[in-house]
Amino acid sequence: MFLVGASGVGKTTVAQILERRTPWEGRTHYFDTIGVPPPEVMEAEFGGGEEWQRWATQQWLDRLASEDAPLQLIEGQTRPSFIRQAAESHPELDLRIILLNCSTKVRQHRLTALRNLPELASQRMDNWAAYLSGQAHALGLPVIDTSDSEPEAIADAIETCI
């Protein structure tokens, strides 16, 4: 299962809640642990950030397919279309993608007041969130709005999708 969404929507918080639940029979992965190179490296080695993201998504799907676990959860910022594309090489996976989203106001508050990352509370992040939402709707993916929900309730909703 992939939890995708822009920075500040609650992906990591919800993944950590699920990971701590008993009995959690899955493995939890965090997309960025693959290592996010600086923009100049993305440009030089991959032709830009979008192509790096496509490559990294394929690396994650390859890794998940090679592990023997009944349930794997990965959270991160990647395009749902890249996940679907990468999954074509692993038809054995029962893949589910869920978009977490929240209002711009809530996301900006979380990024500035709660995470002290005001540089991420930008128009660029707003555009990214809108893009991911558009992709999720175009692909018919479930979208969970985290604006007014407690993280435990969001984790409950995700467990119903498993």
Domain range enclosing 117: 2-161
Tens digits of per-residue pLDDT, 45-61?
A: 999 999 999 999 999 99
Strand ranges (DSSP E) for 9-102? 27-30, 72-76, 97-101
* Model pLDDT, residue 108: 95
The CATH number of the domain holding residue 57 is 3.40.50.300
**Residue 89 pLDDT greater than 90, yes or no:** yes
* Phi, then psi, of 36 in degrees rounded to 5: -105, 110
C-alpha to C-alpha distance for 26 and 48, rounded to whole angstroms: 33
In the chain, what is the straight-line distance between the N-terminal and C-terminal CA atoms, in Å? 8
* Phi, then psi, of 3 in degrees rounded to 5: -105, 115
C-alpha to C-alpha distance for 117 and 111, rounded to whole angstroms: 5
Is the pTM here over 0.95, yes or no? no
Looking at this protein, which amino acid is placed at residue 66? S
C-alpha to C-alpha distance for 155 and 13, rounded to whole angstroms: 9
Tens digits of per-residue pLDDT, 92-135?
A: 888 999 999 999 999 999 999 999 999 999 999 999 999 999 99
C-alpha to C-alpha distance for 35 and 4, rounded to whole angstroms: 17
Count of domains forming the chain:
1
